[in-house]
Structure 1
Amino acid sequence: MRSNYLLALLSAFLLWLAWPPIPYTAVLLLVAFVPLLIAIEQTIRGDYKNKGRKVFTLAFLTGVVWNTASIYWVYNAMNAFLDAIPSLLISLVPYTLAPLLMALAFRLYYQLRKRNGILISFMGLISFWIIYEYLHQTWDLSFPWMTLGNGFANTHQLIQWYSITGVYGGTLWIWLTNICLFLLIWQKRNGIEAINNKVLIGSLAGIICIPAIVSIVWYSKYEEHVNPSEIVTVQPNIDPFGKWGPITPEEQLSVLTNLSQKVAKLNTEFFIWPETAISDRNGVNEEEFRDYPQYQKILTFLEPYHNGNVLSGIESYALYSDQRTPTAKKIGNLFCDRFNAGVLIDGSSKLQFYHKSKLVPGAELLPFGNTLSFLKPFFAHFGGTTGGYASQDKPSVFYSASGIGAAPVICYESIWGNYVAEYVKMGAQFIAVITNDGWWGDTSGKDQHLQYAKLRAIENRRWVVRSANTGISAFINQRGDIVQKSSWWVPTALSQEINLNEELTFYTRSGDLIVYLSFLTGLISIGLMIVRKRN
């Protein structure tokens, strides 16, 4: 059994080595699960007791080592607020939760395998895995950071077909190649040929080469429709841990406007400022924002730019006379909702607000709030307002006076392909990601977050303009190329002429069809388990 654990660790190492931001290694994803599949097959065929438990343990070992090595920066973020032991305890949630779901997918595969052939069982494994990935982006503990398809973010030339399938197409590609290669190796090692080896070799070559070649040709020939717009993105480099110390909200706004003016042109149409760039010590009352000095200063700043708009993050709140939302908290005779929000300001008196929908579990949202309410004081140390942020149910598109639609995607939301696609379906012609990655420090977290934005550009064929408080800010074109980017922890502003796009990709129109198919095949697989068990 020791050799099986070593094989599981080998898979974990290959998965980590293939994961962003390590460059040029993503193709290892196409072979990384083979050692684990061999270990599991040896366990199934071996003379062991409690085989199902051993299969679960092998898969969990691979998952927890891979996850922990790839998102170690979660601990860094926690450790900035808490002591070492509480930080480690909270970090164990993202480190272990996804691996537990991964291991459950393999445990179900084992149950299916006991009563069905290997090809049907692998169909079930792929379905269970994709269902796990989808679950992990939809429930209160959502954290789709480690969805397999994200792993190709560093080699976007190979996955231009994400504009058809989204990231789940990448997950499917990875599993099909790993399974074909495993079957070929297993048959060679054991001198059997349950499936014709020539068929396996041909299938493996086709599964690897056809998507890659099609993508490379597509990438080389793709041309953007010329529809230019001048955009500025700003990186003020405000230390998130000292925001209310050495710098005031007024000084922060001065930094933003001064940096913007350095690179702006008279025809600049959008200034993109990062998450929570506009703030006040008690937050900004959305109904009264026009009376705030910050608002008047922004209007003055925009005067030279005829079609200028500021799209910015803002810490805001709304007051009600009654508790009209479940998240509203009573303050005196009123009720208050607080938001991590985006705002669009132009030269008129019109204001557009968007309230972040995909809230960070623990920091912005208490998962399963009623059940886990006793944890509020513990989680509140991580960024402050556990269970205190309200949200809206669906995206909002900001429209400039000239009719340009922009998607205000706030931080964590940019890793949801289906959610970002909703902005585009609603009319967004480019995607603005406003974020503050400074909480993580100079770790691979900020680099992964940047790389994942390339996937949203490909899926929707939209430029992505990224404004990150401390970096990395960037412009990404419709093919997923990073055209410009800033350095980490450097105050700067970047200017770029982008092409707006109004056409919808197949993925934008149709969504995650692979997920729907996986639910169908998953139900069939569970049905086969039940029927065979009764027989």
Structure 2
Amino acid sequence: MKLKQNYLLALLSAFIMWLAWPPHNWLAPLLFVGLVPLLIALKQITNTSDKKTGKKVFLTAGLTFLIWNTASIYWVFNSINAVNTGFVGTIVSLLVSLIPYGLGALLMTFAFWMYYRLSTYTNKKWIGYSSLIAFYISMEYLHQTWDLAFPWMTLGNGFAGMHQVVQWYEFTGVYGGSLWILLSNILAFEAYQQIKSQKQYKLAGIWALLLLLPIGYSIYRYKNYEEKSVPVNVVTVQPNIDPYEKYGTTSSTEQLSILTKLSDSIAQTNTEYFIWPETAIPNYADEERIRSNPEYLQAQQFLSKYKNGTLITGIESVRFYHDKRTISAKENPNGGFYDHFNAAIQIENSASVAFYHKSKLVPGVEKMPFPKAFSFLAPVFSKLGGSVSSWGWQEEPGVFYAYSGIGVAPVICYESIWGHWVAGSVKQGAQFIAVITNDGWWGNTSGKDQHLLYAKLRSIETRRYVVRSANTGISGFINQRGDVVQQSKWWTRTALKADINLNDEITFYVNYGDLIAKLCIGFAAIAALFILVKKWILK
């Protein structure tokens, strides 16, 4: 009976966390108590003398995180249809698409299981709870940094729809939010235990202060933040070209005609930037010969009407080599090797051209995880229609500098989830952020809404305007406080314009990055070593 009760508590936690998750914006405060039912269930399990306690802890926590993850990002399965990499590539993509659900949930579960293991070796609650926070945030950071990365469900992302209460992300990044949520749930659980057994409310008061002080500071910061007045007129375009027809019935020339007409329809003589979406030029342009590419010439002809105009657009590009100089390079049937990129290109009213190659690639869909380890499979994959290397990438964030001296952070689709990556571009001199994405693969699901909302956190972390161009929506402008000041509707062909403010000041987060996560990794390593030593001694 108690086992069923514990599973019901686990399901309750999953339900509350799902309710609190974007785009359920005004339910975000539920994150402060969403894990309390799970903690109650784990307490009941560990209070028994059952030999299978560890297994029950793992299964109970696993149920919460698997249901929560799956319910929040169910739309990931839609992207499988976008894959066209042969039989093996499709199978691999199908398997790796389970990463957001299974692997993400597994890492979260493992953090709670490690917390349970440590708690069996110490009676000091603060050590146990500190380890829980350290293990959990360390797992989040791992899921941001390794080749199976999918940091979509990082706890701190949960406040993307209520950005007014996390203005302090300019100091901590999203891991500050993860720490806040975990601390809140632990204190709420302990307050519940204290009220239940002792009829005392001291911990409840501390818990209230933990919530109110950061919120109070954040709202004060939000209301008093002032942007620098260095306006630049920017046009962002949403061509609304069906991604499943993008490579078939509609030619590259036709797609560019749509983009240029939309741009011209609202542009001003003083417009300085035009932002077009991911893969807006879908013809595998040779980067070395780009100045003779028909689509490039068509884009530059459009730009000639705007004296100070600069175009940033998505493009699929190719580089050819005499030798295999990158791990992602594939053998060219005509001799030599080549890389193909999901890229961004900056075009001006001059011969100056700059490329940026998408670097945070979707595991399995755009990049085979751990390509060095699996490089020996390349011949097999090649024969069966797939590739072990997939798209090429670059190792560091980039910045596009216009002739005017303005620096822009080019961010392609999935990359906008990485706070430290975007911060890297800002640290190099980016004065605003251009997010170019497709978002059409997911359909009219919450995926597109979450993707837009997460960009608000990048604006707060860096105090930079975000200009978003999405093929099918949602496109728009986000100011330095995280407010969406203008946005398009989903599946609508349109263009938007705004005067955005540039900023060249560097926030604490941009300077120092994910300090909280790195401190947690250090504590988690010590805790894990302690568990191993204790286990060895007890043997």
TM-score bracket for the superposition, by shorter chain length: over 0.9
Other-structure match for 2:13: 11
Letter in 1 for 2:120: K
Q: Match for 2:125 among 118, 126, 129?
A: 118
Separation (CA, whole Å) in 2 of partners of 1:148 and 1:126: 12
Does residue 7 of structure 2 align to residue 26 of structure 1?
no
Other-structure match for 2:329: 328
Judge conservation of contact 1:127–1:518 (CA < 8 Å) in 2.
yes
The alpha carbon displacement at 1:240 in A equals 0.9
- Structure 1 residues 386, 488: closer, same or farther in 2, change over 3 A? farther
Secondary structure at the aligned position of 2:139 is classed as helix
Separation (CA, whole Å) in 2 of partners of 1:211 and 1:455: 16
The alpha carbon displacement at 1:48 in A equals 2.1
Other-structure match for 1:428: 430
Does residue 99 of structure 2 align to residue 99 of structure 1?
no
Separation (CA, whole Å) in 1 of partners of 2:174 and 2:325: 37
Secondary structure at the aligned position of 2:144 is classed as coil
Name the TM-score, length of structure 1 as normaliser: 0.94
Secondary structure at the aligned position of 1:395 is classed as coil
Other-structure match for 1:439: 441
Separation (CA, whole Å) in 1 of partners of 2:281 and 2:358: 15
Letter in 1 for 2:291: R
Separation (CA, whole Å) in 1 of partners of 2:378 and 2:150: 19
Secondary structure at the aligned position of 2:340 is classed as strand
Q: Match for 1:58 among 37, 57, 60?
A: 60
Separation (CA, whole Å) in 1 of partners of 2:514 and 2:97: 29
Separation (CA, whole Å) in 2 of partners of 1:273 and 1:251: 15
Q: Report percent identity of matched pairs.
A: 56
Letter in 2 for 1:392: Q
The alpha carbon displacement at 1:50 in A equals 1.2
- Between 1:1-10 and 1:324-333, the stretch displaced more is 324-333
Q: Match for 2:348 among 346, 356, 359?
A: 346
Does residue 504 of structure 2 align to residue 498 of structure 1?
no
The alpha carbon displacement at 1:521 in A equals 1.8
- Structure 1 residues 379, 432: closer, same or farther in 2, change over 3 A? farther
Judge conservation of contact 1:364–1:385 (CA < 8 Å) in 2.
no
What is the CA deviation profile of residues 32-72 of structure 1, one whole-angstrom value per residue up to 9, with x for unaligned ones?
00000000011000242211111111111000000000000
Other-structure match for 2:420: 418
Question: What are the equivalent positions in structure 2 for 1:178-193 lying under 5 Å apart?
Answer: 178-189=185-196, 191-192=197-198
Name the TM-score, length of structure 2 as normaliser: 0.94
Other-structure match for 1:163: 170
Judge conservation of contact 1:363–1:385 (CA < 8 Å) in 2.
no
- Structure 1 residues 423, 98: closer, same or farther in 2, change over 3 A? same
What is the CA deviation profile of residues 511-533 of structure 1, one whole-angstrom value per residue up to 9, with x for unaligned ones?
11101211222133224334544
What is the CA deviation profile of residues 401-431 of structure 1, one whole-angstrom value per residue up to 9, with x for unaligned ones?
0000000000000000010000000000000
Separation (CA, whole Å) in 1 of partners of 2:149 and 2:369: 9
Other-structure match for 1:127: 134
The alpha carbon displacement at 1:201 in A equals 2.4
Judge conservation of contact 1:408–1:431 (CA < 8 Å) in 2.
yes
Letter in 2 for 1:299: Q
Separation (CA, whole Å) in 1 of partners of 2:240 and 2:386: 21
Separation (CA, whole Å) in 1 of partners of 2:298 and 2:33: 56
Other-structure match for 1:151: 158
Judge conservation of contact 2:191–2:201 (CA < 8 Å) in 1.
no
Separation (CA, whole Å) in 2 of partners of 1:8 and 1:399: 50
Separation (CA, whole Å) in 1 of partners of 2:82 and 2:282: 22
Secondary structure at the aligned position of 1:266 is classed as coil
What is the CA deviation profile of residues 110-137 of structure 1, one whole-angstrom value per residue up to 9, with x for unaligned ones?
1110011222101000000000000001
Does residue 142 of structure 2 align to residue 138 of structure 1?
no
The alpha carbon displacement at 1:246 in A equals 1.9
- Structure 1 residues 322, 370: closer, same or farther in 2, change over 3 A? closer
Separation (CA, whole Å) in 1 of partners of 2:109 and 2:231: 48
Letter in 1 for 2:444: D
Other-structure match for 1:231: 234
- Structure 1 residues 454, 316: closer, same or farther in 2, change over 3 A? same
Judge conservation of contact 1:342–1:408 (CA < 8 Å) in 2.
yes
- Structure 1 residues 376, 238: closer, same or farther in 2, change over 3 A? farther
Letter in 1 for 2:487: K
The alpha carbon displacement at 1:88 in A equals 7.0
Letter in 1 for 2:69: N
Letter in 2 for 1:130: I
Other-structure match for 1:216: 219
Aligned residues: 526
Aligned-pair Cα RMSD in Å: 2.2
Letter in 2 for 1:271: F
Separation (CA, whole Å) in 1 of partners of 2:500 and 2:38: 44
The alpha carbon displacement at 1:379 in A equals 10
Separation (CA, whole Å) in 2 of partners of 1:310 and 1:464: 16
Judge conservation of contact 2:66–2:102 (CA < 8 Å) in 1.
yes
- Give 5+ residue unaligned stretches, structure 2: none
- Structure 1 residues 90, 515: closer, same or farther in 2, change over 3 A? closer
Does residue 114 of structure 2 align to residue 108 of structure 1?
yes
The alpha carbon displacement at 1:16 in A equals 0.4
Does residue 208 of structure 2 align to residue 201 of structure 1?
no
The alpha carbon displacement at 1:376 in A equals 8.4
Separation (CA, whole Å) in 1 of partners of 2:202 and 2:349: 65
Separation (CA, whole Å) in 2 of partners of 1:157 and 1:143: 25
Separation (CA, whole Å) in 2 of partners of 1:166 and 1:379: 39
The alpha carbon displacement at 1:187 in A equals 2.6
- Give 5+ residue unaligned stretches, structure 1: none
Judge conservation of contact 2:409–2:433 (CA < 8 Å) in 1.
yes
Other-structure match for 2:305: 304
- Between 1:289-298 and 1:307-316, the stretch displaced more is 289-298
Other-structure match for 1:292: 293
Secondary structure at the aligned position of 1:25 is classed as helix
What is the CA deviation profile of residues 60-116 of structure 1, one whole-angstrom value per residue up to 9, with x for unaligned ones?
100000000000001222256699x97975543321101111111111101110011
Separation (CA, whole Å) in 2 of partners of 1:329 and 1:207: 53
Letter in 2 for 1:4: N
Judge conservation of contact 1:364–1:386 (CA < 8 Å) in 2.
no
Q: Match for 2:260 among 257, 274, 280?
A: 257
Secondary structure at the aligned position of 1:315 is classed as strand
Secondary structure at the aligned position of 1:440 is classed as coil
The alpha carbon displacement at 1:371 in A equals 5.0
- Structure 1 residues 378, 229: closer, same or farther in 2, change over 3 A? farther
What is the CA deviation profile of residues 141-166 of structure 1, one whole-angstrom value per residue up to 9, with x for unaligned ones?
10000000000000000000000000
- Structure 1 residues 254, 417: closer, same or farther in 2, change over 3 A? same
Other-structure match for 2:359: 357
The alpha carbon displacement at 1:243 in A equals 1.3
